Amino acid sequence: MTDPRPPTLWTRRDVQTRSGWALLSASLFAGFGAFVRLLFPRVRSEPPTKVVLGRPEDFAVGEVSERFKKSHRLIVVREALGFYALRSVCTHLGCVPAWSAAQDKFKCPCHGSGFHRDGVNFEGPAPRPLERLALALDADGNLVADTAVVLRSERGEWARDDAFVRYPKEGRP
């Protein structure tokens, strides 16, 4: 079959057809880009990260308190010398470890990871200790945890001042 058209590179019709398709593709591409951008809103609404835990006296020495576990996924531990807060998020795959007073350990129900009361892992698949949250005493003397500041043992962050709150203050060595 012979092509009846003159041997030019693009005919007038080719140019128009291709410009049409180019315009259509460009607008579809731009529209798709706008759609992808729409999936990343500028504002996200999240709860405040500072959690007021109450007076230090509210916690008994040796207590592992789960009273903020459901609301904020954090555990408050009071030792003889002071406080620290643990994130109750298993470092294996993110389930919620439960405190077992009888066995004196945190036990994750998903895959059996175990953690000592200080958060250090000792059994099961968890690769590293539970994370601590920054803790401080505010001006009113309340314990305040910040869920946005995560302190990881293997990075040496547990040595920071906000990883452990001395209480009572005169107990400072």
Residues that bind other proteins (CB under 8 A): 1, 3, 5, 7-11, 14, 31, 34-35, 37-43
Nearer to other proteins, 16 or 100 (CB): 16
Closest contact distance (angstroms) between CB of 42 and other proteins is 5
| Beta strand ranges found along the chain (DSSP E) | 50-54, 64-65, 74-78, 82-87, 98-100, 105-107, 114-115, 121-123, 132-137, 143-151, 165-166
Closest contact distance (angstroms) between CB of 72 and other proteins is 22
Nearer to other proteins, 5 or 70 (CB): 5
Nearer to other proteins, 3 or 170 (CB): 3
User: If you write DSSP's letter for every residue of 118-165 in order, what string do you get?
Assistant: TS-EEESS--SPPPEEEEEE-TTS-EEEEEEEEE-GGGTGGGSGGGSE
